[in-house]
Amino acid sequence: MSDPALPSIIVDDVTKHFLKRRTHSLKEAFVTWAKRKPVRADRFIALDGVSFSVPEGEAVAVLGLNGSGKSTTLKLISGVLEPDEGHVYTRGRVAGLIEVGAGFHPDLSGRENVYLNAAILGMNRQQIEERFDDIVEFSEIGDHIDQEVKHYSSGMFMRLAFSVAIHVDLDILLVDEVLSVGDAPFRAKCEKKIAELTAEGVTMLVVSHSLGMVQKLCTRGIVLHQGKKVFDGPISEAVARIK
């Protein structure tokens, strides 16, 4: 991250379609094809020519109603999805608090899951070993760390998953509705940690329905409506538009 003049994220005229599939087997696909109906089904436009860029160190909220394309935007930036048209570029290490705990295996112990998930999120062995104690401490899991994760309460599970994700080295943080994690004190701790990261110059993109929270964390808001960008500006105005 040498040149602060360069943006951290560029989303350039991105369009993403989803297919409402009609066919789920080769036989169905063949029958549909034989009847001269389109095999690849109806298109549903999730994002329609969206462009924006995020300068290094800025915290941006992506707002919109359900189905407006918020999560799709995040998935395109994380690389899980690829745009059908347009381009997405990122600079630096991207890490997502997107559905934390996706890589957790219920039959493995908390400890094993920390190692596995930290590695999934891109940490190497040495980094994990260095940060392991911090991760456990932040999660407040304590001695339960050697228990199988399936015996955890949902709060404990989310705390540990969040704690792993937040300890990954990153330049760009994607946050998708995970701050409803745990009880109020833990939530406050998470928000504090995220504020610290922003202060360190981490670029952040947040998707949330909690308008109060995004106003606290972000300075800029992008409003999506049916896959199109309808507003891009100060967070207070963006929130006002949603209301």
In terms of CB distance, is 101 or 239 closer to other proteins?
101
* Residue selected from 39, 41, 88, 230 as contacting other proteins according to rule CB under 8 A: 88
What separation in angstroms does the CA of 200 have from each of 12, 45, 153?
A: 27, 36, 32
Which of these ranges, 58-66, 107-115, 156-164, 223-231, lies near other proteins under the rule CB under 8 A? 107-115
Instruction: Select the residue interacting with other proteins from 99, 137, 196, 237 (CB under 8 A).
Output: 99
**Interaction between residue 87 and other proteins (CB under 8 A):** yes
The binder of other proteins chosen from 119, 195, 230, 242 (CB under 8 A): 119
Local structure of 229: helix, strand or coil = strand
- According to CB under 8 A, which one of 31, 65, 120, 240 is a site residue for other proteins? 120
Sign of CA dihedral 24, 28, 30, 31: negative
In terms of CB distance, is 24 or 36 closer to other proteins?
24
Q: How far is CA 106 from the centre of its chain?
A: 22
Comparison of 53 and 198: residue with beta carbon closer to other proteins:
53
39 near other proteins, judged by CB under 8 A: no
- Binders in 186-215 for other proteins, by CB under 8 A: none
- Of 86-94, 155-163, 205-213, 218-226, the segment contacting other proteins by CB under 8 A is 86-94
Give min distance, CB of 30 to other proteins, in A.
10
Told to check if 20 binds other proteins by CB under 8 A, we report no
* CA 197 vs CA 13, 69, 171, 178, 203: distances in Å: 29, 26, 9, 16, 8
| Interface pick for other proteins out of 4, 6, 38, 219 (rule CB under 8 A) | 6
Q: What angle do CA 181, 182, 185 make, to 5 degrees?
A: 115
The one-character DSSP state at 149 is: G
Q: Identify the CA nearest to 11 among candidates 59, 48, 50.
A: 50
Strand order of the β-sheet with 172-176 is: 94-98, 172-176, 203-207, 59-63, 220-225, 228-234
Q: HSE (CB half, 13 Å, CA atoms) of 121? A: 31
Point out which residues bind other proteins (CB under 8 A).
2-3, 6-7, 10, 12, 18-19, 21, 24-27, 29, 51-53, 75-82, 87-91, 94, 96, 98-99, 102-103, 105, 107-108, 112, 115-116, 119-121, 124-125
